[in-house]
Structure 1
């Protein structure tokens, strides 16, 4: 199988006054002799960079024959696209900031997603929906992966190297269903080598000594990762090149992620230094979860949420309630997944918590028992995993919650946001992590920081969300990374990577979400591991 290499070069971008404090390395004493023998080589930037060659190398311009020049409009567009990726002002000029980024060591993979250098059809840089992170279109067909060391770093002991690699894989496994297991013989899914100069990839992918290309990796399903052993690798400190951070970035490519234009993201093309107690940024979490879904986690149900001791909706009412929603026939007013990956559906004054099989035991409850201060008969609800805030919309007002507590100053009037009153649905789209609001046959992109609609909106649903009907009743992104749209008893599963409705949809909400099996009431309230195949997570 042909392999597409992802050469990785990093810039050491350490801001003055923000040097990371050292953590004590629990296994550093084992190779103190090695550290005394090898001094960290100085990493120098090249004195000059040819902007034309640079933009060609990283996919912003097509190659031209010797002697020919690019037209000014193409050059300005290419420079702006590069500046957009680098997250610097888009001036269209080779100014000081642009030249500094071009001079900085960085990842050798082309930045323009979809260029022929990545082995797929060439496309324009800016898609109809710009992404904070990039999905390269490659993913593993399984979630239990293996890795094997073919060699180790000369700067570290085998134990230190293994520890750094283990922690790098754990960053990704902690937020997905993925598992990683080291094997010591045979062919692993991800083969790891520490090599120099020309190695197993051949002359075209040769390393270049200290300070240039640090490493490269391959996209699935050939996820091998090679590290330049001429670099000075360290662990638990920002001196030299931190292997943990480099490896975590590389394994993002091994799992199918491209580069992110978000400064601070792990998949940002430039190395940003060592950070103690590093946590995977939300940008990278959203990207990897779009490919592999969220981790399997069982969450306990709530009890007397409002703390007044009377239950107040904390249990299913023992007496008939004419306002109690009909699980198998009533449409959703809204559906969302909170920051703890709990799925909630709302109807009237009540809320259901749903699991992979149907309704969680103890539900429905009154909405105010879980989210005190939220009225019934809502129009839409959504949780932003960027800010960890949950929004509820009704009529001309909206509420913002942190956890289960309403924030000061809310509710607010919707008229100053540019959003329509009585929206149909709200959700975070997996393609770029942004908030979208649907109303009738149109949709809006909403910036939760400015609380304004983005320029150029609204747009027509049918133009960008092919196969999704107008006037939907609810929508959300579920744990498998797919976006679901609901209307009446029907729901559509939308693949955020292909921008299409999956085959076999629409399906029945009552059967696949509420556990009704065609009955007028749920025939069983299922929890835990009691999971019939007809209502498994995969069947949704």
Structure 2
């Protein structure tokens, strides 16, 4: 009896692993014991379980939890890449890509029969707004006719492959297709809810599937909305830092460089065509001239400026409520040399002389056990005057005519030189006039 039960569990696990992309393209009956063990370890890695390769009780329990029906294969690859590098590029499938426009239409094709249509429409709108609030994307609903993204409720097999057939309450809640097919399918037999009580919260699941239709894979970060397993609605933020970075790196990462001097700034886009000098106050009203340091947060998408003991924070060009603040009263250094958002810590870092300070964004305050010695940043001199994160993940620090290229994995300087002559991507050299632009 025990042997039959073991075989039954293995068969169920095999079907699960096959459905969610943990095996190759060959049929399930051809998998060897070693392949089955490797697939289990892959699954355990994605779901943050001990990598035993054994079909134990915690693994079986995890397989029984409600989740998205889109496979995890590419997310596993992404997890491997993250283990070997700290570069944060877009998390999409090779064939997923992204939309080549920023204004997208959506349409709810049909409705769950037991929920008011107007309330479902509000939940769907809120799910799309979740992504538009943190990106350059804009969505609007169409009531009939074609749309870029279509949301449809189905039961059982619905003609897009047996692996995509819905299985009733529990199991796969929904699945979606990457751009530019633009479809998300939901199990109409599931017990959907528009609140945080019983049933699966429709807003949460729609928001997850919309992420797929925008080109996002499953996230290996357990707290992320784009994690494959159902996330209950709570008072916490729905989108994690990983979700926000993923969509912003797809649609907002134009990698503009901002250079500040006196009362002006220059912007250098990817093509290297440097803008004319622009007044600081035109872009960031209320900002004083001659700032000490500035940084842009990859986490929140906000601009930070520091001068003396005060600091300013802008969402776009809007000064946030409560700013400027006297940040020196909370342990931040007066007249910092350089400011930087350090993605590996997901914190702001301020440099002042031979020390550095790690600062949280919410609230904007010094983290415990800091400041520390600049020796932690091997090879970096004191008194740098600015820093930026390059598209390749390297961090460049600047002082006078010199630059220092810092490797965020090795935590050391790996190159140095004259920035105007050796870093053409900064757009700092006027080839016609033969001089530095700023």
Which residues in structure 2 correspond to 1:222-233 (within 5 Å)? Answer: 222-233=181-192
1:380-413 per-position Cα deviation (integer Å, ceiling 9, x unaligned)? 5322579773202356421123466555653212
Q: Which residue of 1 aligns with 2:277?
A: none
> What is the CA–CA distance in structure 1 between the aligned matches of 2:246 and 2:353, rounded to whole Å?
33
Distance 1:340 1:262, change over 3 A: closer
> What is the CA–CA distance in structure 1 between the aligned matches of 2:186 and 2:177, rounded to whole Å?
12
RCO higher in 1 or 2 (8 Å CA, sep ≥ 6)?
1
Question: Residue 47 of structure 2: which of 68, 86, 96 is its match?
Answer: 86
CA positional deviation for 1:71: 5.6
CA positional deviation for 1:228: 1.5
Which has a greater percent of helix?
2
Which residues in structure 2 correspond to 1:14-33 (within 5 Å)? Answer: none
Q: Which residue of 1 aligns with 2:425?
A: 506
> What is the CA–CA distance in structure 2 between the aligned matches of 1:413 and 1:383, rounded to whole Å?
18
Q: Is this contact kept in 1: 2:75–2:218, CA < 8 A?
A: no
CA positional deviation for 1:208: 2.4
Distance 1:278 1:395, change over 3 A: closer
Q: Which residue of 1 aligns with 2:416?
A: 471
Structure 2 unmatched runs, 5+: 1-7, 255-281, 318-326, 398-402
> What is the CA–CA distance in structure 1 between the aligned matches of 2:79 and 2:18, rounded to whole Å?
13
Q: Which residue of 2 aligns with 1:443?
A: 407
**Secondary structure, counterpart of 1:154 in structure 2:** coil
Which residues in structure 2 correspond to 1:193-212 (within 5 Å)? Answer: 193-199=152-158, 201=160, 205-212=164-171
Question: Residue 215 of structure 2: which of 256, 261, 264 is its match?
Answer: 256
Q: Is this contact kept in 2: 1:175–1:285, CA < 8 A?
A: yes
Question: Residue 169 of structure 1: which of 114, 120, 128 is its match?
Answer: 128
> What is the CA–CA distance in structure 2 between the aligned matches of 1:66 and 1:49, rounded to whole Å?
11
Q: Which residue of 1 aligns with 2:59?
A: 98
Q: Which residue of 2 aligns with 1:482?
A: none
> What is the CA–CA distance in structure 1 between the aligned matches of 2:436 and 2:315, rounded to whole Å?
19
> What is the CA–CA distance in structure 1 between the aligned matches of 2:92 and 2:422, rounded to whole Å?
29
Q: Which residue of 2 aligns with 1:400?
A: 358
Which residues in structure 2 correspond to 1:407-446 (within 5 Å)? Answer: 409-415=369-375, 417=376, 419-422=378-381, 443-445=407-409
Structure 1 unmatched runs, 5+: 1-46, 116-122, 304-313, 317-324, 326-332, 358-367, 446-456, 462-469, 474-486, 492-504, 512-516, 523-540
> What is the CA–CA distance in structure 2 between the aligned matches of 1:77 and 1:172, rounded to whole Å?
35
Which has a greater percent of strand?
2
1:78-134 per-position Cα deviation (integer Å, ceiling 9, x unaligned)? 33322221122333333332222123232222212189xxxxxxx797234377983
> What is the CA–CA distance in structure 2 between the aligned matches of 1:342 and 1:418, rounded to whole Å?
25
1:201-242 per-position Cα deviation (integer Å, ceiling 9, x unaligned)? 365533222323322211111211121111121102231111
1:267 aligns with 2:209: no
CA positional deviation for 1:437: 8.2
Distance 1:265 1:218, change over 3 A: same
> What is the CA–CA distance in structure 2 between the aligned matches of 1:98 and 1:91, rounded to whole Å?
10
Distance 1:88 1:459, change over 3 A: farther
Q: Is this contact kept in 2: 1:384–1:435, CA < 8 A?
A: no
Normalising by structure 2, we get a TM-score of: 0.69
Distance 1:412 1:251, change over 3 A: same
1:421-470 per-position Cα deviation (integer Å, ceiling 9, x unaligned)? 43888767889xx997889676233xxxxxxxxxxx46997xxxxxxxx4
Q: Which residue of 1 aligns with 2:420?
A: 488
Which region of structure 1 is more displaced relative to structure 2, 276-285 or 254-263? 276-285
> What is the CA–CA distance in structure 1 between the aligned matches of 2:336 and 2:417, rounded to whole Å?
15
Distance 1:237 1:437, change over 3 A: same
**Secondary structure, counterpart of 2:67 in structure 1:** coil
1:129 aligns with 2:91: no
Q: Is this contact kept in 2: 1:209–1:231, CA < 8 A?
A: yes
1:497-536 per-position Cα deviation (integer Å, ceiling 9, x unaligned)? xxxxxxxx7351378xxxxx998777xxxxxxxxxxxxxx
> What is the CA–CA distance in structure 1 between the aligned matches of 2:54 and 2:204, rounded to whole Å?
32
1:285 aligns with 2:244: yes
> What is the CA–CA distance in structure 2 between the aligned matches of 1:239 and 1:398, rounded to whole Å?
49
**Secondary structure, counterpart of 1:506 in structure 2:** helix
Aligned Cα RMSD in Å? 4.8
Q: Is this contact kept in 1: 2:294–2:340, CA < 8 A?
A: yes
Q: Which residue of 2 aligns with 1:56?
A: 18
Q: Is this contact kept in 2: 1:235–1:243, CA < 8 A?
A: yes
> What is the CA–CA distance in structure 2 between the aligned matches of 1:278 and 1:210, rounded to whole Å?
26
Q: Is this contact kept in 2: 1:175–1:294, CA < 8 A?
A: no
CA positional deviation for 1:370: 12
> What is the CA–CA distance in structure 2 between the aligned matches of 1:143 and 1:370, rounded to whole Å?
42
**Secondary structure, counterpart of 2:74 in structure 1:** coil
> What is the CA–CA distance in structure 1 between the aligned matches of 2:19 and 2:373, rounded to whole Å?
50
Distance 1:440 1:287, change over 3 A: same
1:149 aligns with 2:96: no
> What is the CA–CA distance in structure 2 between the aligned matches of 1:374 and 1:394, rounded to whole Å?
7
